[in-house]
Structure 1
Amino acid sequence: MEKKSYAELERALGLKDAVGIGLGAIIGAGIFVVTGVAAGISGPAFLVSLLLAGIVAAFNALSSAQLAAVYPQSGGTYEYGYRLLNPGLGFSAGWMFLISKLSAGSVVAIGFGSYFYQLVPIGSPLLYSLAAIIILTIANFFGIKKTGYLNLGIVSITVLSLVYLVIQGLPEIDSSNFKPFAPFGLSGIAEATALLFFAFTGYARIATLAEEVKDPKSTIPKAVIITIITAIILYALVSFTAIGVIGTEAMANSTSPLQMVANALANTEIKIIITIGASTAMLGVLLSQILGISRMMLAMGRRKDLFPVFQRVHNKNLVPHIGILITGTLITLLTLFGKFEIILSAAAFTILLYYSITNIAALNQPIKDRRYGQAIPLLGLTGCLTMAFSLDLLVIISGISILLVGFVLRYILHKVY
């Protein structure tokens, strides 16, 4: 067994907490924004795309669960890459995770400000965005158990608002909105599948926080499976309702399709409820990003792939306080000074490579550690690589360039430390 030469985090997350963190990472911009984009790409057939994306995500989720049960340390695929493949692939996974999640963190912070301003039109949306980053960063300092409780409260509000929308919307469905079902053919379904896959990738946050999960060998696989199944069902119900009430053309022409659905319903209070749900969804994702990024920084600091100061753990609260502080600072700067479009566009490619490494690591696990058979990671890897190299060439080049920058930084750090 590997000797621990570093301070460990507190194992305080139970099954309910782990599922809440997974759902908090998944139920965000995907369900409130990306469903509308997917509807424009494939028409009502984006329901098929949703199912296909969910299946590919499930393969990846099972690979993550299988690995996290055996290697329950912070870092997720970064850790698996190092242990089962080689340092280069391990570092690649960690660096790509950081880049994609930092840029996503600023996007959801801006999204929260935009939605919350509709509820309380005082000050400016940017002010609310910055307040959310500061408050959630501070909340992270109080320990994973308290953060888990906060996350469960946020996620519960989001899920209940979506369930309420479905209950109110189902009686108003017009079957003609589902015709023609696949106006853009198989190519539209395939493109929408790649887009919707990213909506499901938050399940891996459970693996990234594995060092803080109680009884990880049992809890993590259960939490990942419950999370992905719940997310697919919720996405499917909400998407079916949205198509039936307003149609895919209206969804595609709106940056907030679920609010359009709410506006179309006779119930006047539903609009406020959905705006509240959208606000808490953005908060949930932002909280999840701060959790995941700071734990990745911790893991990479331990191996000096980032500055060693990131491996510090607070003596009392047992959290990576330096990583949390730097994460909040970086997301604040990105929110203030721009979203870095090149990084955002490259994030799609980098996160697919991240999950490809997850599946390659699962394929390299010893037979005694495998839970689901080799077909699962093989199918997950095939899906990830197919989607990664079907992206625009500029996106691929941008992703590879960002990865090379990471390796230069790593080389310098290893020379210094």
Structure 2
Amino acid sequence: MTSQQGALARRLGTFDAVAIGLGSMMGAGIFAAFAPAAVSAGAGLLIGLAIAGVVAYCNATASAQLAAQYPTSGGTYIYGRERLGEWPGFFAGWSFVIGKTASAAAMAITFAAYAAPVGWEKPVAVLAVLAVGAVNYVGVTRTANATKVLAAVVLAVLAFVVVLGLSQGHPQPSFLTTGLLDHGWYGILQAAALLFFAFAGYARIATMGEEVKEPQHTIPRAIIVALAIVLVVYAAVALTALLTIGPGRLAASAAPLSDVVTAGGSVWASPLVRIGAAAATLGSLLSITAGIGRTTLAMARHEDLPVWLAAVHDRYHVPHRAEVVLAVVVCILVVATDLRGALGFSSFGVLLYYFVANASAFTQDDGHRRYPKVLQILGAVGCIVLAACLPLPSIVAGLVVLAVGIGYRMIGRRMRRETSGSTRNPR
């Protein structure tokens, strides 16, 4: 049934990889991140969106360049190990796994908030996690196919929101300029850091590098195409929301895109937006858990996580033990914790992950270089600045979890050395 240290099957083409990237990015971020960004920056969230997009582009070029040289599962965990050493690799992998596990729980809770009757949110969120875990367990091609359907639904709904909002929502151009800089640059940078959460899914393409056909060409192309599509979509939705309901109402809204379509009296359209939000969060949950499973697999192969998590299923060719453990942990988090506030923590972990990606790409030689080094410098500085501008509780929580991971690795390495020494020198 299982094969320790087995290889994953290369089954994904460019379209599949782009769909997984779109499904990962266009999740709850676009339905939830705009409101807290408006709280931080008001109309300045447009500047924050541009900054987040620039940082995301720099990070994407670093990931694409590295993935072409190291087309295997694990993403920046592997790149950091290969280019910078074991500890930077572990730093990146641990930041990704912990941050994205919290993000997966948040996606499940957000899905239930749109899809479940009042009072049934927690059970529905758990069922969503179990259903997604089952899809991931039976194979990555099923994951890609499901993500393609969900991404198509979300794109259609967002296009509907933009058209209806601009045609019937009485857009006010003054909303884009009034109070643009009232919250200052710190508020704009904090908005950028929160909005970065909505861009962070393109790494899922790189983490699945062992399952992509012709990865040296497919992965870089898919990352850039997926990011470009999402940048256009996010800009259109942000402009529509600001023009129709303004930064004040956007900041106070629990369901801003629903408010956009109802601003012009189209109350009948609100259920369609809820369906789109549910599909988006489900697609994000599907892709996030797939990416976490592959990074967990890579870390287990190098003994940075328990080795038994490296098992690959003989039939489905997925890291099935990692998928099962992940589903259990996310279900526990869903039941025990309200993780809406964990979006900042997730951004903190992911920004550190991409800092290592940029540092790793900076060390590549000319033979493997696809983009100028200045992009990696800009990306690394951008990651640190945005992480430092997140709300203080998110920063503190991130530092505590990083310390736990570092302690775990140090203890594990010491125990392995002692065991090895005892084996070589038996008494």
Give the TM-score range, shorter chain.
Answer: over 0.9
Q: Say how many residue pairs are matched.
A: 410
Distance across 1 between alignment mates of 2:36 and 2:392 = 21
Distance across 1 between alignment mates of 2:143 and 2:77 = 23
Distance across 2 between alignment mates of 1:277 and 1:29 = 10
User: Normalization by structure 2: what TM-score?
Assistant: 0.91
Asked if residue 111 in structure 1 is aligned to residue 110 in structure 2, the reply is yes
Asked if residue 140 in structure 1 is aligned to residue 139 in structure 2, the reply is no
Report which stretch shifted further, 383-392 or 146-155. Answer: 383-392
Which residue is 1:177 aligned to? 175
Would the alpha carbon gap of residues 293 and 165 (structure 1) be closer, same or farther in structure 2, given more than 3 Å must change? Answer: same
Which residue is 2:19 aligned to? 20
Report which stretch shifted further, 273-282 or 138-147. Answer: 138-147
Asked if residue 311 in structure 1 is aligned to residue 296 in structure 2, the reply is no
Matching residue's letter, 1:162: L
Which residue is 1:401 aligned to? 400
Distance across 1 between alignment mates of 2:75 and 2:261 = 38
* Secondary structure of 2:33 counterpart: helix
Within-5 A mapping of 1:66-77: 66-77=65-76
2:344 and 2:391 in contact (8 A); partners too? no
Within-5 A mapping of 1:158-307: 158-171=154-167, 172=169, 173-182=171-180, 183-307=182-306
Report which stretch shifted further, 79-88 or 399-408. Answer: 399-408
Would the alpha carbon gap of residues 249 and 392 (structure 1) be closer, same or farther in structure 2, given more than 3 Å must change? Answer: closer
Matching residue's letter, 1:180: T
1:154 and 1:281 in contact (8 A); partners too? yes
Can you list the C-alpha shifts for 1:290-339, whole angstroms capped at 9, x where unaligned? 10111111001101111111111000111111011111111100001114
Can you list the C-alpha shifts for 1:259-304, whole angstroms capped at 9, x where unaligned? 1112223334321111000001110111012101111110011011
Can you list the C-alpha shifts for 1:171-208, whole angstroms capped at 9, x where unaligned? 23222333415133434323222221222111111111
Distance across 2 between alignment mates of 1:217 and 1:8 = 18
Distance across 2 between alignment mates of 1:340 and 1:240 = 28
Which residue is 1:31 aligned to? 30
* CA positional deviation for 1:163: 0.6
Can you list the C-alpha shifts for 1:55-110, whole angstroms capped at 9, x where unaligned? 11100000000000110111100000111101011011111111101111111101
Distance across 2 between alignment mates of 1:386 and 1:59 = 14
Would the alpha carbon gap of residues 373 and 335 (structure 1) be closer, same or farther in structure 2, given more than 3 Å must change? Answer: same
Which residue is 2:42 aligned to? 43
1:77 and 1:90 in contact (8 A); partners too? yes
Matching residue's letter, 1:212: E
Report which stretch shifted further, 334-343 or 184-193. Answer: 334-343
1:349 and 1:391 in contact (8 A); partners too? yes
* Secondary structure of 2:6 counterpart: coil
Which residue is 1:150 aligned to? 146
Can you list the C-alpha shifts for 1:206-234, whole angstroms capped at 9, x where unaligned? 11111111111111111111111111110
Can you list the C-alpha shifts for 1:113-150, whole angstroms capped at 9, x where unaligned? 11002xxx387122221111111111112211111101
2:194 and 2:343 in contact (8 A); partners too? no
User: Normalization by structure 1: what TM-score?
Assistant: 0.94
Report which stretch shifted further, 43-52 or 137-146. Answer: 43-52
Distance across 2 between alignment mates of 1:236 and 1:381 = 24
Distance across 2 between alignment mates of 1:180 and 1:156 = 35
Which residue is 2:85 aligned to? 86
Which residue is 1:65 aligned to? 64
Report which stretch shifted further, 385-394 or 259-268. Answer: 385-394
1:105 and 1:331 in contact (8 A); partners too? yes
Would the alpha carbon gap of residues 122 and 38 (structure 1) be closer, same or farther in structure 2, given more than 3 Å must change? Answer: closer
2:106 and 2:343 in contact (8 A); partners too? no
Which residue is 1:328 aligned to? 327
Which residue is 2:125 aligned to? 129
Would the alpha carbon gap of residues 342 and 150 (structure 1) be closer, same or farther in structure 2, given more than 3 Å must change? Answer: closer
Matching residue's letter, 1:262: V
Distance across 2 between alignment mates of 1:136 and 1:127 = 14
Identity of aligned residues (%): 38
CA RMSD, Structure 1 to Structure 2 (Å): 1.9
Which residue is 2:424 aligned to? none
